[in-house]
Chain A
Amino acid sequence: MLIKCPWCGDRSLAEFSYQGDATIIRPSDPLSLSDNQWNEYLNLRNNPKGWHDEIWQHLNGCRKHFKARRNVVTHEIADTKPMDGSLQGGRS
């Protein structure tokens, strides 16, 4: 399987490391959150069937993190973008 690093291009899956759900944003002021809100951020994750926006790291390459829109059923990757980019494509 090849994954396209936004900086290095197509590279083998073996060079990459999955780093979590890209739709989860760390709260900027955690101390203002209730226990439930903090729990929501820290522990709760959706488990969608189909397309999913994820964070990957090009661990054995440039080591940058980036976003990938991946279909968790077919493993297709519709798009990869730098962390501040916006993912395109993929049927939802």
Chain B
Amino acid sequence: MNNPQIPQYRLPEGGRIDRSRPLSFSFNGRAYVGYQGDTLASALLANGVHLIARSFKYHRPRGIMSAGSEEPCAMVTMRQGSRIEPNIRATQIELYEGLVANSQNCWPSVNFDLQAIINKVSRFLPSGFYYKTFKWPKFLWMSYEKVIRHAAGMGKVATLPDPDHYDHMHAYCDVLVVGGGPAGLMAAKSAAASGARVMLADEQAEFGGTLCGRAEKISNKPAMDWVARVRDELAARPDVTLLPRTVVASYYDHNMLVLNQRTGEHLPTAEGFTPRQRIWKVWAKQVVLATGAIERPLVFGNNDLPGVMLTGAVQTYISQYGVLAGKNAVIFTNNDSAYDAAAHMHDNGIKIAAIIDNRKQTSPAAQKLSDRGILIFNNHVVYQAVGSKHVRGVNISPLNENGDKLSGGNIKIDCDLLCMSGGWTPSVHLFSQARGKLRWHETLTTFIPEKSFQQERSAGSCKGVWGLSDCLKGGAKAGAEAAKAAGFTKTRALKTPAASNHDMGDIRALWRVPQPPRSQTKRFIDFQDDVATSDIELAAREGYRSVELTKRYTTLGMGTDQGKTSNINGLAVLSEELGKHIPEVGLTTFRPPYTAQTLGAISGPERGGHFAPTRRSPVHDWHVSTGASFMPAGLWMRPAYYQQPGETMWDAIYRETKHVRSHVGLVDVSSLGKIDLQGKDSAEFLNRCYINGFAKLPVGKCRYGVMLRDDGMVFDDGTVSRLAENHFMMTTTTAKAGPVLQYLEYLLDVVWPELDVHVVSATEQWCAIAVAGPKSRELLSRITDIDMSNEAFEFMGVRQGNICDVPGRIYRISFSGELAYEIGVPSDWGLHVWESLMTAGKDLKVSPYGLEAMSILRIEKGHIVGAELNGRTTADDLGFAAMISTRKPFMGQRSLRKPALLEGERKQLVGLISLDGKTPIPRGAQIVVNPDGPTPVAMLGEVTSNCYSPHVENHIGLAIVKRGRQRIDEILWATSPLTKQRVRVKLCSPHFIDPQGERLRG
């Protein structure tokens, strides 16, 4: 007994801990020892440490109140460095070797917290204090806020990248059982016996639920023997998935539930392939909710002192961890469940100084304790706990006849542990998330499930069933029902083993323990958010009637525990204040998740480079090895420019631009969308899609086309090549490759199902290389068997043949405005063809160019891209009026007659040139007549593209300007107040080079 290795509050034997595996850990810098199987909370209690944290608002000392995820007080900061994580409940942390935890929201220490002065002035800090006090002067709020936020701390988050990894799983099952207590285990067993695929998830490391922490018997043997047998039976079934350490956090529509499995939280660090946490998205045909119940605190003075605990939790610390939460206990209850607990504590050596019961009669359960010689005070209450950093005793008093006032005759009783039991609240969170309807149960004084809306049913104490035997039976029935509803015919509720069936007796509701006159002692309802009865009373006095608004005003239930221990108490106090019946006031909405989820688990593997796929062209590795700088274009990585030694970025870009106009360049255009169309109606289909005609496009030719949305705005542009009578290849812009394909599919499926056309994306299958510049023909003629002469291969022609010994296609099209071709070869041959072109053109000084040079070349030519195709421009706005066919129907045609599209003030595409020849045109600038005119300055249009043009040797741009085509040669301003840049510009034709197209055709 006097073994110095065993901390003073650890029982010499018992508990579900492994005493052969001691673990050392540190709390607030001090070293302690616990055992494998402990939680941080149980290990601290074993060492006699109760003071864990300082409260959120008043910095009051707080200890450990519960033994589960409902814990509102004992929140700590876990781990260090990049793994540091605040606001973790000590009751949920499994102990591991070397664990490091620290108190938060206190300075310099949890024992001596300077900000505890706030508690002394707390009566000047009621609900809404900050809003009421710091509202003037308005501009100072930002400064106030900083100070307030510092004082109301919730720990600090890591600022370093998270070194751990997180996993996502998708799963389907017939029956998902939530909760591995007696009801859940029976449900899983019954469902599995019918052949259903079952998943069983439980928040704790060990199955058994409440049984882990009780001295219950099943079939006259320790209940945990039964738990182990059922668990092993289930584990042996191939169609059952057991998920311990897994909280079912959220219940969504169509029986989709999200689970969080703490795969690595119980390890010093989750290494190798073990994720720290894993999110499961489970689609369950049927769900059994066996989520248990949470004990309610009682609301008396100083009920937040360390050493004031929930009665069931004290039992759990004894049975599960072999730990005494104190040695001299007072128990304060309004129901019978505390008497089982008292016997349990007494059996394990806790002295029971007294049991205080607010009920008038001694119940049969109480009589047994009385027979042991334990002092029971009926019709009494603990109205205050006494102590500064730990409970030292209680003040008790009899109640008056109505039970709403103390009737004098106070007694003080010494204790080092105060257990409270205000009844139990079924955990209906998931049931409510699934839109289930609750009913107020008068004798149980709580809400219980009434009507389900999704494919789920509740079993056990989450349904308001308290006796163990009834929970087992209810579980067996629910499991069989669920399997049957999931379509299994051989279902039956399995026979359940013998067990006790104690209920809670008659509860005498006691929502606020009366106080002596003029008492200022706080009675807490929501411990995490420091909401006391006085706050709810104030809210009611100030006119708050709705529970939802009171919640937000007082922050009741808004902590990370979502009010698991405070909801009913808060609601009851509000309804008393309003003089209403509890169900009339209503309950706040339960929202997912049930317990706080980490952002790491939610993002899972989708972070950094895995956030979205990266698309690379077949030539990508060559670009990398040549030192290209890349820029993202949607998901694509495209070379922006190829910098050579000694060059600046702009040197490289202008060199590449000039090189194309004087020699020959290659640009990788593989990212452009490519859609293959086949079928006998393909030509007719294209004719209906584009504003211009495609029916008569000859085989071996390609044509530029403009596509409208049905509202008349330009959707996309590109080329279409006719490869055979019923075979076309369409190109789209990089950004619209997906949307255009989807649009074509929609038209074929929904609008014109009678057309025989098949469309398929061929973007990834073809590597596309544009060869541009006066020497492009010379270069290509060296590597292909296609006749490249101007006579045989005219502008806008398409030829198929061998290219660098690979079958491919050459399109004579030009984006740069130079003599140019685009090569298409199967992707696997892309790199080979690119490299062959570089080799074959060495003496022609062939050179690669990137997106930046390509952009300058196209602006010089007046070709449009996404900036101009911005969804607000029509074909006429962009200068394509002449292309619009009048001889056929096409998508968007009717909208061209809309009055708004016919009015004369529309913005039109024009070119811009910097008037002084040296001032750049700011990106996104507004076109105005006089930037210094009275505001608001009328905006005539905006710059859509801008660059320095080596060809023009000036800054140029494209803009969309009101009546722009009539303003050619007008001098206006391009102004960007955001960047404080402005320049005088002359409006001109958007074609800065070769307006007649002689270069292309030469």
Contact = CB atoms under 8 A, between A and B. Distances in A.
Interface in B701-752: 710-711, 742, 745-746, 749-751
A30 B453 CA distance: 45
A15 B340 CA distance: 53
Interface stretch (B152-160, B200-208, B637-645, B893-901): B893-901
Contact of A55 (B252, B283, B750, B898): B750
Contacts of B899: 35
B894 A19 contact: no
Interface in B746-804: 746, 749-751, 753
A30 B893 contact: yes
Interface residues of B, number: 23
A57 B731 CA distance: 23
Contacts of B753: 83-84
A55 B897 CA distance: 28
A57 B746 contact: yes
A81 interface: no
Nearest to A64: B749
A59 interface: yes
A59 B897 CA distance: 33
B894 A65 contact: no
Contacts of A35: 897-899
A17 B745 CA distance: 13
B559 interface: no
B894 to A, nearest CB: 4
Contacts of B253: 1, 74-75
A83 B750 contact: yes
A2 interface: yes
B601 to A, nearest CB: 18
Interface in A52-92: 55, 57, 59, 63-65, 74-75, 83-84
Nearest to B894: A30
B254 A30 contact: no
B467 interface: no
Interface residues of A, number: 23
Nearest to A26: B751
Contacts of B170: 12
A35 B895 CA distance: 9
A31 B749 contact: no
Contacts of B252: 1
Contact of A83 (B283, B742, B749, B895): B749
A83 B897 CA distance: 30
B508 to A, nearest CB: 41
B711 A42 contact: yes
A83 B752 CA distance: 11
B889 interface: yes
Nearest to B759: A63
B151 interface: no
B33 interface: no
A42 B898 CA distance: 12
A59 B746 CA distance: 11
B254 A2 contact: yes
B894 A31 contact: yes
B494 interface: no
B889 A31 contact: yes
Nearest to A67: B750
B393 to A, nearest CB: 56
Interface string B872-895: 000000000000000001000111
B256 interface: yes
A38 B749 contact: no
Given A31-B889, A31-B894, A42-B895, A63 B254 contact: no
Interface string A9-34: 00010000101000000100111010
A2 B283 contact: yes
A42 B894 CA distance: 10
Contacts of A63: 745
Nearest to B454: A74
B894 A38 contact: yes
A29 B745 CA distance: 21
B725 to A, nearest CB: 25
A92 to B, nearest CB: 20
Interface in B973-995: none
Contacts of A84: 753
Contacts of A2: 254, 283
A1 B254 contact: yes
A75 B254 contact: yes
A19 B746 CA distance: 8
B253 to A, nearest CB: 5
A75 B453 CA distance: 12
A29 B893 CA distance: 11
A1 B283 CA distance: 7
A30 B899 CA distance: 16
A45 to B, nearest CB: 14
Interface in B135-189: 170
A43 to B, nearest CB: 8
Contact of A31 (B710, B893, B898): B893
Contacts of B711: 42
A33 B894 contact: yes
Nearest to B760: A63
A38 B712 CA distance: 12
A42 B710 contact: yes
B972 to A, nearest CB: 34
Contacts of A26: 710, 750-751
Given A35-B898, A42-B895, A83-B749, A17 B742 contact: yes
Contacts of A12: 170, 283
Contacts of B745: 57, 63, 65
A41 to B, nearest CB: 9
A50 B889 CA distance: 37
Contacts of B898: 35, 38
B283 to A, nearest CB: 6
Interface in B57-94: none
Nearest to B745: A63
Nearest to B738: A59
A65 B742 CA distance: 10
Contacts of A65: 745-746, 749-750
B19 to A, nearest CB: 47
Nearest to A24: B750
A46 B710 CA distance: 19
A42 B283 CA distance: 37
Nearest to B712: A42
Nearest to B435: A74
Most buried by A among B283, B749, B751, B897: B749
Interface in B224-282: 252-254, 256
Nearest to B748: A65
A85 to B, nearest CB: 12
Given A35-B899, A42-B710, A59 B742 contact: yes
Contacts of A55: 750
A12 B282 CA distance: 11
Nearest to A77: B254
Contacts of B749: 57, 64-65, 83
B893 A38 contact: no
Interface in B883-927: 889, 893-895, 897-899
B884 to A, nearest CB: 13
Nearest to B253: A75
Given A26-B751, A35-B898, A84-B753, 11 more contacts: A1-B253, A17-B742, A30-B893, A30-B894, A31-B889, A38-B894, A57-B742, A65-B745, A65-B746, A65-B749, A74-B453
6 contacts: A38-B894, A38-B898, A55-B750, A59-B742, A65-B750, A84-B753
Which 8 A-B pairs have CB atoms at the shortest separation, nearest pair first?
A: A30-B894, A65-B749, A1-B254, A75-B253, A26-B751, A38-B894, A65-B750, A83-B749
Interface of B: 170, 252-254, 256, 283, 453, 710-711, 742, 745-746, 749-751, 753, 889, 893-895, 897-899
